[in-house]
Each structure stands twice: as C-alpha cells, then as structure tokens.
Structure 1
Amino acid sequence: MARTAHPIRKQPEPAAAPTSEQPRRFIKLAEVRSLTTLSTSEIYRRIAAGTFPVQVMLGPKSAVWIESEILAWCEARIAESRGEAA
C-alpha cells in the first residue's frame, strides 16, 4: 500500500529565550489574582489602560500570564511606593 506524502509543515521559529535564569512559566488568572491581590475586573481594567502585563492567549478560551512579568510588575509597585528607582 502506497503512502501519500504529506506536505512538510514549517515549524514556527522559537521565541527568544527568557532574559532571566528561571524558565518561563505560565500562570492562570487565579494565581495572578493571588500574587497581586487585584480583582479580576481590576486586572482587566489595568490591561486596557496599558498599566498591567497583557495575557497570552493559548486558545480561544485559555488565557495565561507570564509569571516573571507579573512578579516584575509587583516589584515595580513596591519600588514606586517606597520612592525607589525602578
């Protein structure tokens, strides 16, 4: 039985490696809320205002955030509140 050749799909190019030593990790909304203590509506308000890291859509109904971006946002808020240079 002859096999039909399937066209070779070009793989997407890998994203740039994370700048930190830690591997990139996706976190869901519940963990973002826990880390920031912000409500869901406040998180999305800040995303719309451009003052909070934007989620990554893994599918039509699957949104995640990059943990290092959320942690950096938290650190920047701490530095701001203490008058430190971020």
Structure 2
Amino acid sequence: MNMTHHDRFLRLNVVLERTGLSRATLYRKIQSGTFPRQVRIAERCCGWRESAVTEWMNSPISYLVDDFSPRA
C-alpha cells in the first residue's frame, strides 16, 4: 500500500484503541500476516500507517499482508 500525503503514523495505544485488539492479539496477528506490520519511524520508535489500519478495519477477517513471509 502506498502512503499518501494524507497518511499519518499511529502509535501502539491508538492502534489498540481503534481496533479493540489486545496487545498480544495484535502482535500475534502481525506474526501471522493478518495485520499490517509496524514501520520504524525513528531509532526507538515504530508506528502503523493509518491507511493500513483503516484497510484492516474495513475487512479484518479477509485481510492478508501482501508481502507476508514468516520471520524465523
């Protein structure tokens, strides 16, 4: 998904609040490729593209990360 000029980064607490997921469930979904991966936005800071979270919220059951490959 391309980031548009209107896109912004959401921090963990905002993502959890918007999705209603627990932290453990969120990271489990990231591992399985059924939730967007976070993006490093600084050395010790990550966030999620708002557009990716919105896309997931529009279709959470059928969402799959396009370039998903399990991490070893």
Q: Which TM-score band applies after superposition, normalised by the shorter structure? A: 0.7 to 0.9
Residue 41 (structure 1) shift: 1.1
Using the size of structure 2 for normalisation, the TM-score is: 0.73
Alignment-derived partner of residue 29 in structure 1: 12
The partner residue of 1:40 within 23, 26, 42 is 23
Greater relative contact order: 1 or 2 (C-alpha under 8 angstroms, separation 6 or more)?
2
Q: How many residues align?
A: 61
Amino-acid identity (%): 34
Find runs of 4+ consecutive structure 1 residues off by over 2 angstroms: none
Please say which structure displays the higher CA radius of gyration: 1
Structure 1: state its 5+ residue gaps: 1-15, 81-86
- Cα RMSD, aligned residues only: 2.0
